[in-house]
Chains A and B, each alone.
Chain A
Amino acid sequence: MFEAPVQKLIDELARLPGIGQKSAQRIAFHLLHVEETDARRLAEAVVEMRERVRLCARCFNVTDSEECSICRDLRRDPSAICVVERAQDVVVVERTHEFRGRYHVLGGAISPIEGVGPEQLRLRELIARIEPEGVTEVIVATNPTVEGDTTALYLARSLKPLGLTVTRLASGLPVGGDLDYADELTLGRALSGRREM
């Protein structure tokens, strides 16, 4: 056991994902030896994030105002919504520079085994956006896992009767990958979704 203030920080750090006692100790002693202003800046960043960041009232992305910067951007195409599982996924899709519509963060995926059903996700909020925003296409960008696929199937079943085009991100071979290592499911999907050249 270290002196109380040091041990307290180690215990707090060790509660973070992927950080064990040893890593927590290393970080704590690092912070003990850096300039006080650096340590204070880190502490302030944590506090500021917790105090200022909330969820966008429209798409549930993280933001520091009522609506996120994407929802506020009038140049974005309001007719297309890209549905993702987590707020982190918005950044990933944005990095492609291929999508100019808006987003909707579900807050997870349907996982019957874990007891997560449609009621636990922000599906009702998504349906409520369709008419007022004039949405015509919903792109389902959930993970290509059983849970993500189940969510996509459920969304298609709920949204298609509303006259919307529901599309799913294509599954296939990663760029730079080796055909030899492709599994049957992925390769099967890549084949069925092949494109004419």
Chain B
Amino acid sequence: MALRHDQGIVLRGYPFGEADRVVVLLSPNHGKLRTVAKGVRKTKSRFGGRLEPFTHVDVVLYEGRNLDTVTQVSVIEAYPRLRGDLDKVLAAGTMVEVVDAVAQENEGSHRAFLLLQRGLSALETGPLHDDIVPAYLLKAAEVVGIAPALTACAACGSSDGLDRFSLSAGGVLCPQCRSGGAYALRSGLVGYLAGLVASDLSSLPPVDPVLSKDAAGLVRRFLEYHLDRLLASLAAMDV
């Protein structure tokens, strides 16, 4: 049992006991950390709002048998502007949900951490880009090793006539490899998706209203299919 230092982005928390909260953090070195913040739900808690979701914090943890206890917290980045915009909060919710789904405990997750950090920074600093969530999801797929094939047929590697997309094959298909369950793609969508993959989250290409909608739907279905779970944050806001 000892004190140790770590840093992470708060993914979520849930009430625990009378006034405590279990806070789940994503640490670049140790992956997902489940910690207990004692008394954090009391208005006079010394932790205050430092352990709210999306906050990047430096923490001192007291190692416990099951859960580590947070003894000190200092904020590295709080993303205050993000929190004042409903659409940005919802986008950040999806970003957090995806890394929460793919990150493991006690397993370094540098790339997932950096991706989340870049995603939150892009939301904080600029106006909300309509494609930020699909672009983030595509990059998350890459981090986990399930990036969709977009430049060559997922079955044979050919780069001609890629106008179908198969969830099970893991990307675009050429006319020879078409299968029954593959989606027909609108012209230009493959290039549009590749553009999102290649761009930085803070400098995404201009939005094409028609392709943007298709891209969002396709990327969401792809991620849900391969993660084998529905993205609750997107489903919650489907009205």
Q: Residues of A at under 8 Å CB distance from B? A: 18, 110-120, 144-146, 149-150, 153-154, 157, 174, 176-177, 181-186, 188
A153 and B88 CA atoms in complex are apart in Å by: 11
Q: How many inter-chain residue pairs (CB < 8 Å) link A and B? A: 87
Out of B43, B236, B238, which one reaches A174, CB within 8 Å? B43
Q: B54 interface residue, CB < 8 Å from A?
A: yes
Please determine whether A174 and B44 come into contact, CB atoms closer than 8 angstroms: yes
Interface residues on B, range: 35 or more
Q: Which residue of B lies closest to A185 (CB)?
A: B49
In the complex, 8 of the A-B residue pairs with CB atoms within 8 angstroms, ordered by the A residue number, are A112-B236, A113-B100, A114-B232, A118-B239, A150-B89, A154-B86, A176-B44, A184-B50
> B53 interface residue, CB < 8 Å from A?
yes
Q: How far is the CA of A188 from the CA of B75 in the complex (A)?
A: 13
The one of A113, A118, A120, A149 that contacts B97, using a Cβ cutoff of 8 Å: A113
Q: Which of B85, B86, B239 contacts A119 (CB 8 A)?
A: B239
Contacts of A18 in B (CB 8 A): 17-18
How far is B230's CA from A117's CA once the two chains are assembled, in angstroms? 14
Chain A residues with Cβ under 8 A from B237's Cβ?
Answer: 112, 117-118
- Least CB distance, B8 to chain A, in whole angstroms: 16
Query: How far is the CB of B26 from the nearest CB of chain A, in Å?
Result: 13
**A120–B31 alpha-carbon span in the complex (Å):** 32
What string of 1s and 0s marks CB contacts (under 8 Å) between B21-58 and chain A?
00000000000000000000001101111101111000
Q: Which of B80, B83, B100, B235 contacts A115 (CB 8 A)?
A: B235
Q: Do A113 and B93 touch (CB < 8 A)?
A: yes
A157 and B75 contact, Cβ closer than 8 Å, known pairs A112-B93, A113-B100: no
